[in-house]
């Protein structure tokens, strides 16, 4: 089945005008056949909920990148969902970036999340642009817009990006990316609704009014707390950690998982109440907890959501966050992307 329909920027604009929240899920390309099975099981579950889009992360290293292209192409061709392909500037010349963009276009992918990527030496090391490549996501937005035909999204940071001097810089850069042609943004994960509101207000001060989709991920085991702190770039709020610890004492792993999902649903409700245009759920390819968040919020038809939740058995303390599984790196802006092979 080929995905057709309106460009994503129009879909998001229509949702915004009607007040209906967008719903999207993020996946990473599988490393092997077993991973492929897990990915496709999750994709089929979320497909039943008719998400606005699903996005596929882009890793470091050639074969990882090829897998991103393949997985995104498969979503475009074999599901009813709109894929958003991530693309980074890491270790790529302009010509290589154009080639990947061409592959996406050939595959029927019309939406790209334009990212700079973390420094090739790992987060915390200085960023080095490829000699013939690009230095910022802003330049990648400009490249994509010059090639035409793509809805372009960008990253946004409720916690300060570690290379930014302050939150104001993050807001200014987001506004620059919007002015260059980005029509939506997805945030790094975070756990306090006020951070999203502050970012959006600051960006509005710079004339930016594109939809900024909050990126959420449920903490489903206490072991994930330090991992998620590194991913989000800030400590998990102490009241949430205390709540999870109390759950562990009272009901063990299953209760931690239940409370983690509940807390994420509460955060989602607060964000939607505050005017967020939708929610973007990081799945790490296991959609179970994300689907439970959708169900708790009543974002989709209850029968369909209940069926999708039932189809993915709950796994107490399951590897929704396994850093080893995702190749997540231990510094601030690390994103749950696949490791290089
Ligand atoms: P940029 O917007 O270029 O910003 C990087 C730094 O440069 C910031 O400090 C910014 O303030 C500064 N800067 C940029 N332009 C200017 C300017 N004109 N003036 C002054 N300062 C400027 N990484 C992957 O490798 N693969 C993925 O698939 C992936 N997916 C992601 C998805 C989301 C939703 C998010 C939030 C992050 C993702 N990342 C991914 C991680 C991302 O690549 C890193 O966080 C990276 O360090 C920053 O990328 P960026 O696109 O925000 O870069």
Per-residue pLDDT tens digits for 209-267: 999 999 999 999 999 999 999 888 889 999 999 999 999 999 999 999 999 999 999 99
Atom 53 (ligand 1) nearest CA: 116
3 lies in some domain: no
pLDDT digits (tens, 9 = 90+) for 108-166: 899 999 999 988 777 778 899 999 999 999 999 999 999 999 999 999 999 999 999 99
Round to whole Å and give the CA distance between 98 and 329.
27
- Per annotation, catalytic residue among 26, 103, 192, 292: 26
pLDDT at 324: 33
Query: Which residue has tokens 């802006």?
Result: 333
334 lies in some domain: no
270 lies in some domain: yes
Round to whole Å and give the CA distance between 123 and 125.
6
**Distance from Cα 117 to the centre of ligand 1, integer Å:** 6
pLDDT of 183 over the 70 cut? yes
185 lies in some domain: yes
pLDDT digits (tens, 9 = 90+) for 52-111: 999 999 987 667 788 899 999 999 999 999 999 999 999 999 999 999 999 999 988 999
Ligand 1 closest atom vs CA 280: 34
Task: Please count the helices (runs of H) and the strands (runs of E) in the chain.
Answer: 12, 8
| CATH number for 242 | 3.20.20.220
Round to whole Å and give the CA distance between 68 and 29.
5
336 lies in some domain: no
Round to whole Å and give the CA distance between 169 and 207.
14
273 lies in some domain: yes
- 148 lies in which domain range? 8-327
Task: Taking residues 20-39, report their average pLDDT.
Answer: 92
Residue 43 tokens read as 């994709």
Q: What percent of the chain has pLDDT over 90?
A: 76
Query: Which residues lie across from 163 on neighbouring strands?
Result: none
pLDDT at 136: 98
**Distance from Cα 138 to the centre of ligand 1, integer Å:** 9
Task: Taking residues 310-327, report their average pLDDT.
Answer: 45
Ligand 1 closest atom vs CA 157: 36
**Distance from Cα 253 to the centre of ligand 1, integer Å:** 34
Ligand 1 closest atom vs CA 177: 2
Question: Do the beta carbons of residue 279 and residue 272 sit within 8 Å?
Answer: yes
Pocket test for ligand 1, best of 100, 128, 139, 161 (most atoms within 8 A of CB): 161
Domain count for the chain, please give it.
1
338 lies in some domain: no
pLDDT confidence of 323, banded at 50, 70, 90?
A: very low
26 is catalytic: yes
Round to whole Å and give the CA distance between 28 and 202.
31
Residues with CB under 6 A from ligand 1: 57-58, 86, 88, 113, 115-118, 136-138, 155, 161, 163-164, 169-170, 173, 176, 186-188, 215, 333, 335, 337
**Distance from Cα 292 to the centre of ligand 1, integer Å:** 29
340 lies in some domain: no
Pocket test for ligand 1, best of 54, 115, 143, 159 (most atoms within 8 A of CB): 115
Strands (E), 201-286: 212-216, 278-282
**Distance from Cα 115 to the centre of ligand 1, integer Å:** 5
**Distance from Cα 70 to the centre of ligand 1, integer Å:** 23
pLDDT at 118: 87
């Amino acid at each position: 089945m080929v995905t057709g329909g309106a460009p994503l920027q129009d879909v998001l604009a229509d949702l915004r005008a009607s007040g209906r929240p967008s719903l999207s899920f993020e996946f990473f390309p599988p490393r092997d056949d077993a991973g492929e099975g897990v990915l496709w099981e999750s994709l089929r579950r979320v497909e039943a909920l008719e998400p606005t889009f699903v996005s596929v992360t882009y890793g470091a290293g050639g074969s990882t990148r090829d897998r991103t292209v393949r997985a995104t192409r498969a979503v475009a061709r074999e599901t009813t969902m709109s894929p958003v392909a991530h693309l980074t500037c890491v270790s790529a010349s302009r010509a290589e970036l154009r080639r990947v963009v061409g592959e996406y276009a050939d595959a029927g992918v019309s939406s790209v999340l334009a990212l700079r990527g973390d420094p090739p030496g790992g987060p915390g090391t200085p960023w080095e642009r490829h000699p013939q490549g690009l230095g910022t996501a802003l330049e990648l937005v400009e490249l994509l817009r010059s090639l035409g035909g793509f809805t372009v999204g960008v990253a946004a940071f409720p916690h300060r990006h570690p290379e930014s001097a302050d939150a104001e810089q993050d807001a200014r850069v987001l506004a620059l990316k919007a002015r260059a042609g980005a029509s939506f943004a997805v945030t790094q994960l975070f756990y306090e609704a006020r951070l999203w509101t502050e970012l959006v207000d600051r960006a509005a001060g710079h004339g930016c009014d594109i939809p900024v989709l909050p990126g959420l991920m449920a903490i489903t085991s206490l072991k994930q707390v330090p991992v998620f702190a590194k991913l989000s770039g800030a400590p998990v709020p102490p009241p949430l950690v205390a709540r999870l610890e109390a759950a562990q004492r009272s009901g063990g792993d299953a209760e931690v998982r239940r409370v983690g999902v509940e807390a994420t649903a509460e955060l989602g409700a607060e964000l939607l109440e505050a005017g967020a245009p939708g929610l973007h759920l990081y799945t790490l390819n296991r959609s179970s907890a994300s689907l439970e968040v959708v169900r708790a919020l009543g974002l989709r038809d209850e029968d369909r959501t209940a069926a999708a939740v039932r189809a993915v058995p709950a796994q107490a303390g399951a590897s929704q966050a396994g850093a080893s599984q995702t190749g997540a790196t231990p510094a601030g802006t690390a994103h749950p992307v696949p490791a290089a092979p």
